[in-house]
Amino acid sequence: MQIKNQEEEWKDVNITLYPKKYSQKELDELFEEACKVLLDFMEKERNYQGFVTSDLDLIEEIEGFPFFIQWESLAPEVIDEKGHLLVIDEGYDGFVNLIAIFEYEDWKKEQQISVHVKTNETKDISILIEKELLLLRCQVLELLVVLIKMR
């Protein structure tokens, strides 16, 4: 960066900005706030149904907070650490505990989140949608037959 000195000459100046340093108390308070934001986000991920039927978006940062978030799954065969739903069994209905690990420099704290996974809901809904589409197609074909006969 360049600035003018008192003699109106341009001089090169290096400015180094350091991120804010947080105290242990500040980090603990920010952690509590960030957990609330994360839990609200996770509730939206569940579409307010209370359960999960597809992959989750496990965020690694929350805007306005200094933390990096890593994830662990206590049932990686059901949901992995990236949020991918791995169970494809029709009728799976169970709970998975995910651990959000908040990190800032050498500070670390965890928040456990329980997620209800239901794979049968997705399959049931898709079957209903397929049946409805088939019914609509049949009705459209019937209307076309009537229109052709009217010509």
Long-range contacts of 87-96 (CB under 8 A, 24+ apart): 87/117, 87/119, 88/119, 89/119, 90/119, 90/120, 90/123, 91/119, 91/120, 92/117, 92/118, 92/119, 92/120, 93/117, 93/118, 93/119, 93/120
Q: How many residues does the chain have?
A: 151
* 22 Ramachandran zone, left/alpha/beta (phi>0; psi -120 to 50): beta
For residue 25, pLDDT beyond 80: yes
What is the enclosing helix (H) or strand (E) of 94? strand 93-104
Which tops the pLDDT comparison, 52 or 28?
Answer: 28
For residue 85, pLDDT beyond 90: no
Q: Mean pLDDT over residues 6-23, rounded?
A: 80
Q: Mean pLDDT over residues 77-81, rounded?
A: 91
Enumerate residues 6+ apart whose C-beta is below 8 A from 15: 1
Q: Mean pLDDT over residues 6-26, rounded?
A: 82
Q: Mean pLDDT over residues 37-46, rounded?
A: 84
For residue 127, pLDDT beyond 60: no
pTM for the structure as a whole:
0.66
pLDDT of amino acid 53: 81
Token pair listed for 47 = 């579409």
Handedness of CA 135, 140, 144, 150 (dihedral sign): positive
Q: Mean pLDDT over residues 64-69, rounded?
A: 94
For residue 60, pLDDT beyond 80: yes
pLDDT of amino acid 65: 94
pLDDT of amino acid 122: 46
